[in-house]
Structure 1
């Protein structure tokens, strides 16, 4: 996931960093690395702080407010951190650093959202992203532990969370599945099924 994220930052930095006279050419890679560290650090703080629903909403494309990704509180925090880091490391003004982030960050996050919310694109997925943010667990290790982040991500990708989604997620969390949600051994899925009369 981290390699793909760095590649997305490089793809979106041509005008904002590489062709920017405010960033000397010898500092191009360092500036991109600074943006990368801010994105990873911001997402990591949210994941480790327990805001998985916020991250899932963001990465499924439902996290924008007022139609703009930059209005999302997670993105705003990442942007603020990145702007501060660019100012500190490269002596940029607030407006110069802000312009760079305003050009780079939306494109990077939009590409991440496009990849993670598309089940047919496995170059980036919820399992890989969450594994990287929560300590480098591989997605298959998460699945062996009964927690399939991809299943949760795809359940939320349509912007709605219905009872079927809850049952699938509940089964995933405790190693059950939607097929046995109403029977014995259905874990959280079975419990939810009983509560809601499924």
Structure 2
């Protein structure tokens, strides 16, 4: 997945990196690679810190991958920090790169993931990779379907959170291997 994500960043890197006078040409590939790694790491951090619902909404098309989306903001922040720390870009330059690139990359990633004719990304593979294999046995496509249909609010409190996901898998019975798998998916 990481190689495909870096290739996706490369495809979108035109004005943000390749044609950007702030980025020395000899460092283009390093910046592209670091950006892809930062996006992947950021997605992993969002999921492990309880943001699974937000990521599922993004991939399910309920939330647009715009600069106002909390997942995009989080990932952009990661990219900005990485660019500043690793390459010495100032805040304005790093903001320009991330602001131009992250929403476009996520839009393409979501589009490719949801395109049955494109097998470069698949939602189950992405989540397996991001969770370090802990999402095996969890039907991510099924979760995505529940999010897009609004069917994850199992406790009726108006939001979808970890309690709802746990209730869905335990069936109210308090556990089992699948529930343990979901709990492990949310922790690092």
Structure whose alpha-carbon radius of gyration is higher: 1
Length-normalised TM-score, structure 1: 0.71
For 2:172 and 2:4, locate their aligned partners in 1 and report how far apart those are by CA, in whole Å. Answer: 34
In the alignment, which residue of structure 2 is the partner of 1:74? 71
How many angstroms does 1:90 deviate by? 2.2
Aligned positions of 1:31-42 closer than 5 A = 31-42=31-42
Residue among 105, 112, 115 paired with 2:112: 115
Q: Is the 8 A contact 1:23 1:90 kept in 2?
A: no
Point out which structure has higher relative CO (alpha carbons under 8 A, 6+ apart).
2
Query: Are residues 27 and 52 of structure 1, via their aligned partners in 2, closer, same or farther at CA, if it must alter by over 3 Å?
Result: same
Report the TM-score, using the length of structure 2 for normalisation: 0.74
In 2, the alpha carbon distance for the partners of 1:105 and 1:46 equals 15
Task: After TM superposition, give the deviation of residue 58 of structure 1 in Å.
Answer: 1.3
Q: RMSD in angstroms over aligned alpha carbons?
A: 2.8
CA contact (8 A) 1:61 1:117 kept: no
Instruction: Pick one of 77, 93, 106 that aligns with 2:90.
Output: 93
Deviation track 1:28-71 (CA, whole Å, cap 9, x = no partner) reads: 1111122112211110012222321111011222223xxx6211
Distance 2:144 2:50 in 1: 16
Deviation at 1:189, TM superposition (A): 9.6
**Distance change (3 Å), C-alpha of 1:86 and 1:79:** same
Note the C-alpha offset of 1:134.
0.5
Paired residue total: 163
Deviating beyond 4 angstroms after TM superposition, the runs of 4 or more aligned structure 1 residues are none
Structure 1: how far apart are the matches of 2:27 and 2:89?
12
Question: Is the aligned partner of 1:128 residue 2:125?
Answer: yes
> Unaligned regions of 5+ residues in structure 1, if any?
175-186, 191-198
Do 1:87 and 1:97's aligned partners in 2 also have CA atoms closer than 8 Å? yes
1:161 aligns with 2:144: no
